[in-house]
Amino acid sequence: MLNAQDVLNLSGKVAVVTGGASGIGLATAKLLASFGAHAVLLDINEAEGERAASEIRSGGGSAGFYRCDVSSADNCRLVVSEIESALGRIDILFNNAGIIRRKTVVELEERDWDLVVDVSLKGVYLLSKYVIPVMARGGGGSIINSGSGWGLKGGDRAAAYCAAKAGVVNLTRAMAIDHGKDNIRVNCVSPGDTDTPLLRDEAKQLRQDEAAFLADSARGRPLERLGTPQDIANAVLFLAGDLSAWVTGSVLVVDGGGIA
């Protein structure tokens, strides 16, 4: 039976968060650190990543930063090796890094497709490939992949993103089946429109007024607002810890009812 005082205690855990320099990744790293985990932020933005890790430490948490391009096998392998050498274990992996290009298949250049799929889907595969053996050696762990509502239904002018996120959803299920024997749980959190730099960049890509775009993104949801990075971080916290000890292969939609 879970102890009420320990149910969200992540003390002694090492949590790796990709795309950790901003948005959902940073909010999640902060939250996991606040519950005792050592947060390892991975991002290609070195300056912002270092600043984010410093911010967590200034707030009393434990955190570090590594520059990592999740689309590079060599980079992922090296970074995971360095983390294991420095910290001895990885208990939580939040595969959060992603990118979107708001284009149809006709509008997409091949390089756009490759970029979105390499970061948003291949990156999940690569980090997991190198982290899973480390987790297994440590007795198990929890992997949370970042999906999207558009991984469960279609969206306009986002063909590569929809394809990549749908791939993440079923990759999650396959990983859960393969690695349960190692006491590794694998789940997917699928956000709806969340107020992040990524969402605001979509307005620029579509050449729309940012305020109007954000208002339109919130319109029609039963809860009548955009998500916040904290909303998604809360869901990741649940999937990372013992409250979800018998949850694996699941997709948790956090979207204010957007696809209800």
Q: Which of 66, 125, 130, 161 is catalytic?
A: 161
Report the amino acid identity of residue 218. Answer: A
Place of tokens 């993440």: 168
First to last CA, the chain: 33
Q: Which two tokens stand for residue 37?
A: 């985990």
Q: Is 161 a catalytic residue?
A: yes
Q: Is 135 exposed, middle or buried (0-12, 13-18, 19+ CB in 10 A)?
A: buried
Interior/surface letters 18-47, b for 16+ CB within 10 angstroms, e for the rest: bbbbbbbbbbbbbbbbbbebbbbbbbbeee
Helix ranges (DSSP H) in 105-179 = 110-117, 123-137, 159-179
* Cα–Cα distance, 240 to 97 (Å, whole number): 17
* Cα–Cα distance, 15 to 240 (Å, whole number): 9
Radius of gyration of the chain (CA): 17
Q: Which two tokens stand for residue 22?
A: 């901003």
CA distances (Å), 119 to each of 43, 109, 122, 210, in order? 11, 16, 6, 25
Residues known to be catalytic: 161
